[in-house]
Amino acid sequence: MGEIEGLNGIPRLKRMQGLQQLKGIVAIAVCAMSMSLMAQDAAKVNQWPWMNAGLSADERAEMVLKEATLEEKIALLHGNGMAHVDQWQTPLTHLANGGAGYVEGISRLGIPPLYVSDAAYGVRSSGDNGRYSTALPSNAGAASSWDPEAAFEYGALIGRELRAQGFNMSLGGGVNLAREPRNGRTFEYLGEDPILAGTLVGNLMKGVQAQHIVGDIKHYALNDQETGRNIVNVVISKRAMQESDLLAFHIGLQISDAAAVMCSYNRANGDYACENPYLLKEVLKGEWKFKGFVLSDWGGTHSTAKASAAGLDQEQPMAEFFGPALKAAVEAGKVPMAEIDDHARRVLRSEFASGIVDYPVQKSVVDAEGGLDIAQRLEEQSIVLLRNEKSILPLDAKQLRTVAVIGPHADVGMISGGGSAQVDPPIGNAIAAPGTRATTWQQQIWFPTSPLKALRAKLPNAKVEFDSGENPASAAALAKGADVAIIFAHQWESEGMDLPSLSLPDNQDALIEQVAAANPRTIVVLETGGPVTMPWADKVGGILEAWYAGSRGHVAVANILLGEVNPTAKLAVTFPKSEQDLPRPAIAPLSADDIGQGSGAVNGVTHEESKYSVHYDEGLKVGYKWYDAEKKPVLFPFGYGLSYTSYAYSDLKVSPDGRTVTFTLKNTGKRAGAEIAEVYAMLPAAADEPPKRLVGWAKVKLAAGESRSVKVDVNPNYLQIFNEQKNGWLTVPGDYTFAVGGSSQDLPLKHTLFLQ
């Protein structure tokens, strides 16, 4: 046979021979490159033996420590300013890559600097720095997915974009519990339950650090409100803090082995968190054996010798206390050299453990499209269907002829969360004049994610009209003639301020009431950072909680509304009926005695010796535990969320040691879905605990009509209480009731057994 013709008329045999030759050339080149890199690595190891990646992070840190001078060690223990903030500038700030902070390395020993960036739901200041960042759904929203794998993916995307932008340390990882739902940073955190929040932040940080980024968990601890955050003294029992906020931190650290912990601004039982020996030395580094380093929140350091002795390792963003003052304290014998070595060792160990020494950061191009796909998928898993009367949702595109889209700026965008978490939109604020991508502190920033455009794209045969809602009568008139009215309502949150109330601002409640009166087929889509009150809840047909929806939130919301995606999310925080039902009906205002002069103010308030205190008298009763114990009805309970299908629970079995819970879950509806099945435990009366606590869950995908046996493993530690007298955790002998169901208030299966 003759030769078979190949591509471009080249005989196939000759083409194959040519390909083989090319492969050989490539193989030789790759081999040569590998040998060159190996030679470089060998040279590094010969020059610096701690560059041997086969050694442990502890061994490598110890070797560097022995070679470092006092000045080099202290250089690791403080920041050198923050870009874009005038009061936090130093001569080295220009080296910070436009980020939140910069810490010198030890160049003569091959130790890189730390290039630090805020990165709660995406990398901050991309607009200022001429770059692009993907905005993920806000952290509180993502927590409603109850999905550890999704949390890992969330963190991994942030880690990749940090590296692409030239950063090697993240300041994300917020895990303060929603003890105060009006907290302006609720959207940055992961709900009200320590086991859920700790599990999710641990996996999120695990994803960040998998990209060779120094990960951080914050704000340690009890930074649960912004009002007076620089001066407030949180008064709480050791048992209550151990079983609430501290438990979330501990779980997160166990899962992630995070390289850093950021201590908070507030005081706890008298001492500032960044010089609090109980929090830092006794618990974090003592009981938990944390091997990473503790850095202060920005401007959260208040002393030199006291903070060093208490366990603070690094001051940020300046060197007021841990720069020349620390060196002088060592030379005067006020701070022992052993403390300096411990601080520096922890920073060095974290650099080696995270991989930033072996995998130096190099700027590259962000995968914008890939990030948008992930952001959309995560938002679709985060949107909670709260109400669906008469199955108004999903909307049937074939039946719709007229749709009224109502709400401030719903024609151009969706709102995002502010403060140090703020991610810059790629083309600037959607409601501002075009021309700049940078954002302003505590300015409402709207992403160019137009719900109106998304719905028009998916409803080409319907007439989709818009009204801003500024004039409720006009909006009601538009709604009255429509097949369905969709209102996009919002509540904005930001660091540095707390919400005045849980009500929707700007007369939006009245707008919803008037539109719903005109058209009972009204659906409300909420863009909020946390819970809101809803005096109109029983007057509308449907309610979706979309949170701050991220860079492709408009598409995700449209997909849920039209049933292209079946909602699966469940609330990670309780929605109360009224602020009067909260442990503190109002956030205590600062009195004149609390206001003094000094630095580090929030809302103009500061005073180093302030007596301003918040008493967490509710103690263990955080979130749903409070409403259960106080027998207060709620608007929507923790763990609640509807679906376009339905589920049935049966056949509960619990192992004799309480460590395994099994049951049968059936999809009783007509379409596929995923149910978050929740497991709670009710402890013996002698434990003196709230009525129940979450101890496990499973997210189970089921086809229509499918049944499956589900097993949930229960960590025995989650059945224990903290005993202050013994300063440790113990199991109280007695009857334990395990309850399983679809929310904290829908638990059809129960089983009781005695545990010793």
pLDDT tens track for 290-338:
999 999 999 999 999 999 999 999 999 999 999 999 999 999 999 999 9
pLDDT band per the 50, 70, 90 thresholds, residue 434: low
**In the predicted structure, residue 603 carries a pLDDT above the cut 50:** no
Question: Exposed/middle/buried for 25, CB within 10 Å: 0-12, 13-18, 19+?
Answer: exposed
Q: Which of 7-16, 39-48, 414-423 has the lowest mean pLDDT?
A: 7-16
Question: Exposed/middle/buried for 334, CB within 10 Å: 0-12, 13-18, 19+?
Answer: middle
**In the predicted structure, residue 474 carries a pLDDT above the cut 90:** yes
How far is it, in rounded angstroms, from Cα 674 to Cα 701?
4
Q: For residue range 56-77, list pLDDT tens digits in order.
A: 999 999 999 999 999 999 999 9
How far is it, in rounded angstroms, from Cα 293 to Cα 116?
14
**In the predicted structure, residue 270 carries a pLDDT above the cut 60:** yes
How far is it, in rounded angstroms, from Cα 462 to Cα 456?
8
Strand order, beta sheet including 293-296:
216-220, 260-263, 293-296
**For residue 322, what are the CA distances in angstroms to 261, 301, 308, 327, 403?**
17, 9, 8, 8, 61
**For residue 341, what are the CA distances in angstroms to 335, 506, 679?**
11, 55, 45
- Per cent of the chain over pLDDT 90 is 88
The answer to whether 463 touches 402, Cβ cutoff 8 Å, is yes
How far is it, in rounded angstroms, from Cα 366 to Cα 372?
11
The answer to whether 230 touches 715, Cβ cutoff 8 Å, is no
The answer to whether 468 touches 408, Cβ cutoff 8 Å, is yes
Please, what is the average pLDDT of the chain? 92
pLDDT at 1: 31
pLDDT at 711: 98
**In the predicted structure, residue 382 carries a pLDDT above the cut 50:** yes
pLDDT at 42: 66
The answer to whether 550 touches 375, Cβ cutoff 8 Å, is yes
pLDDT band per the 50, 70, 90 thresholds, residue 625: very high
Q: Which residues have C-beta within 8 Å of that of residue 203, sequence separation ≥ 6?
A: 148, 149, 151, 152, 155, 255, 256
Question: Exposed/middle/buried for 538, CB within 10 Å: 0-12, 13-18, 19+?
Answer: exposed
For 484, the 3-state DSSP assignment is strand
Q: Which residue has the tokens 């967490």?
A: 616
The answer to whether 146 touches 572, Cβ cutoff 8 Å, is yes
Residue 446 φ then ψ, to 5° = -110, 130
**For residue 469, what are the CA distances in angstroms to 5, 44, 285, 455, 697?**
68, 65, 54, 18, 41
Q: Which of 450-459, 530-539, 605-614 has the lowest mean pLDDT?
A: 605-614
pLDDT at 129: 86
Under DSSP, the state recorded for 693 is E
Nearest to 652 by CA among 729, 745, 750: 750
The answer to whether 319 touches 295, Cβ cutoff 8 Å, is no
Q: Which residue has the tokens 């990473």?
A: 292
Q: Which residues have C-beta within 8 Å of that of residue 294, sequence separation ≥ 6?
A: 220, 260, 261, 262, 263, 274, 280, 284, 311, 312, 313, 314, 346
How far is it, in rounded angstroms, from Cα 684 to Cα 284?
29
Average pLDDT estimate for 728-755? 98
Residue type, 486: I
Average pLDDT estimate for 175-190? 98
Q: Where are the alpha helices (DSSP H) in 363-419?
A: 368-380
| Residue 535 CB-half CA count within 13 A | 13
The answer to whether 567 touches 385, Cβ cutoff 8 Å, is yes
How far is it, in rounded angstroms, from Cα 589 to Cα 569?
35
Query: 128 vs 592, which has greater pLDDT?
Result: 128
Under DSSP, the state recorded for 424 is P
pLDDT at 14: 38
**In the predicted structure, residue 662 carries a pLDDT above the cut 60:** yes
pLDDT at 6: 30
**In the predicted structure, residue 608 carries a pLDDT above the cut 80:** no
How far is it, in rounded angstroms, from Cα 212 to Cα 195?
26
- Give all domains of the chain, ordered by start, each with its CATH number: 38-354 (3.20.20.300), 368-579 (3.40.50.1700), 648-755 (2.60.40.10)
Q: Which residue has the tokens 């938990």?
A: 288
pLDDT at 402: 98
Q: For residue range 697-728, list pLDDT tens digits in order.
A: 999 999 999 999 999 999 999 999 999 999 99
pLDDT at 176: 98
**In the predicted structure, residue 230 carries a pLDDT above the cut 50:** yes
